[in-house]
């Protein structure tokens, strides 16, 4: 073990009490964080069948983004069992919903022995890490055990590049332990090369390939029936602090009978967001009450998981959260794929290429703050012709960038035994 990875491993062991404390703290609002600790700390349970194709997707967004890639992988290797690993309870729950026939586990933290045992027990045929999951001990162990591991849908922002450069001596060897890298864009590939990646290939973004399940369209129709004919503005995947900014701007605007739909990104915040809106004087209903929306209800809280496409499907204009505050934004491709006009704030560094392409295509607008967001949303709701233009542009934008999943499968085939 080189000294950098040795020091890195010692830091993991030293941080173990802090990690356990962090999980217990998160469990106060999300009890699922206390479940399956054996998996997180390396006690790998025996699989039903060895030789699975292993996909690691850290949380909800990456797990959904993996769906079209997994479908393409299963077309190529139809008889191989599937192992899915995550790092968050919401990601794990999403995996269980989307892939009921797969084995779903937490990936152990990057302790040398834990990741060695994980790979030895599961003996995966190969692994695919989604986006930017670079775990030095895991990748070293996979290289030592002869398990091909690929980085797919790989992205690296300028901000992340600056951070990784501080530990390039640790990350560079990890990148070189990968069998191949499928980057989302040329810029992502170039940044990865600067860290030491060998010949990353530009394959595109699998998020463009995602097709919502038919059940989501049916649920969207049910939501719309509950709402009635009112205009609907959805603020989706919002993060802590954004809801208050949006609600304050909403209070100060002439919104008429427009319904504001809030869908917080993290389920442990559902109750606090509902309480916030009520304390500010809004008439609030929750999706979980299963009731028709009252005429006086001004805010509908989307307090469910796995139904984001249904919320988008019942809306007229969408805002993508994580972008009003400096958090990097969330997935704008999902609402655009349904033809929704998309609004987002100034911070979209996690989706830099997609946001730039959407703006160029006329499928999205970027706003400076919450006041501008509400003003633009209400303007669009009153301008049917403009909404229709953005609808057509959004559909064309997403259609133009499909195909990444098949390109990634071709890359896998090129580096795996026949």
- Active-site annotation, residues: 62
Tokens for 192, please give them. 């990865």
Helix axes 270-279, 242-251, angle to 10 degrees: 30
Question: What backbone phi and psi angles, to 5 degrees, belong to 342?
Answer: -115, 135
Q: Please, is 173 exposed, middle or buried when counting C-beta atoms within 10 Å of its C-beta (0-12, 13-18, 19+)?
A: middle
Query: What percent helix, strand, coil does the chain show, rounded to 5?
Result: 50, 15, 35
What stretches of 229-314 show up as alpha helix (H) in DSSP? 242-251, 270-279, 308-313
Asked if 76 and 48 count as a contact pair (C-beta separation under 8 A), the reply is no
Q: Give the Cα separation of 416 and 418 in Å (integer).
A: 6
The Cα 416–Cα 137 span in angstroms is 22
- Residue 259: name the closest of 340, 373, 378 by CA: 378
Instruction: Give me the phi and psi of 171, to 5 degrees please.
Output: -80, -35
Please report how the helices 158-165 and 186-195 are oriented relative to each other, as an axis angle in degrees rounded to 10: 10
Place of tokens 């802090």: 18
Tokens encoding 104: 């779903």
**Residue whose token pair is 């060695």:** 116
Q: Round to whole Å and give the CA distance between 327 and 346.
A: 10
According to DSSP, the residues that pair with 286 across neighbouring strands are 301
């Amino acid at each position: 073990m080189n000294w950098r990875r040795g020091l890195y491993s010692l830091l993991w062991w030293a941080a173990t009490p802090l990690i356990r404390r962090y999980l217990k703290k998160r469990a106060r609002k999300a009890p699922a964080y206390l479940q399956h600790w054996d998996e997180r700390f390396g006690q790998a349970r025996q699989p039903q069948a060895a030789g699975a194709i292993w996909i690691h997707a850290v949380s909800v967004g990456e797990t959904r983004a993996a769906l079209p890639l997994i479908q393409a992988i299963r077309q190529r290797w139809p008889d191989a069992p599937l192992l899915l690993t995550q790092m968050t309870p919401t990601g794990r729950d999403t995996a269980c919903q989307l892939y009921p026939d797969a084995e779903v586990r937490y990936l152990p933290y990057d302790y040398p022995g834990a990741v060695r045992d994980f790979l030895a027990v599961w003996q995966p045929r190969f692994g695919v890490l989604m986006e930017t999951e670079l775990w030095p001990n895991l990748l070293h162990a996979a290289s030592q055990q002869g398990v091909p591991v690929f980085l797919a849908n790989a992205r690296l922002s300028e901000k992340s590049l600056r951070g990784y450069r501080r530990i390039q001596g640790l990350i560079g060897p990890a990148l070189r332990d990968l069998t191949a890298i499928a980057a989302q864009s040329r810029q992502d590939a170039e940044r990865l090369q600067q860290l030491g990646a060998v010949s990353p290939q530009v394959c595109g973004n699998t998020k463009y390939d995602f097709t919502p399940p038919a059940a989501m369209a049916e649920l969207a129709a049910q939501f719309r029936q509950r709402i009635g004919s009112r205009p609907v503005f959805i603020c989706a995947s919002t993060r802590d602090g954004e809801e208050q900014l949006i609600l304050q701007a909403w209070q100060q605007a002439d919104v008429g009978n427009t319904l504001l739909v809030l869908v917080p990104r993290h389920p442990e915040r559902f109750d606090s967001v509902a309480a916030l809106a009520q304390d500010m004087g809004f008439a609030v209903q929750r999706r979980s009450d299963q009731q028709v929306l009252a005429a006086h209800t001004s805010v509908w809280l989307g307090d469910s998981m796995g139904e984001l496409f249904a919320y988008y499907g019942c809306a007229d204009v969408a805002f993508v959260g994580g972008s009003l505050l400096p958090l990097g934004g969330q997935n704008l491709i999902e609402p655009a794929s349904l033809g929704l006009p998309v609004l987002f704030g100034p911070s979209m560094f996690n989706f830099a290429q997609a946001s730039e392409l959407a703006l160029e295509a006329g499928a999205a607008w970027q706003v400076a703050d919450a006041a501008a967001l509400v003003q633009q949303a209400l303007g669009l709701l009153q301008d049917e012709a403009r909404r229709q233009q953005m609808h057509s542009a959004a559909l064309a934008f997403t259609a133009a960038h499909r195909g990444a999943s098949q390109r990634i499968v071709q890359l896998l085939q090129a580096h795996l035994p026949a």
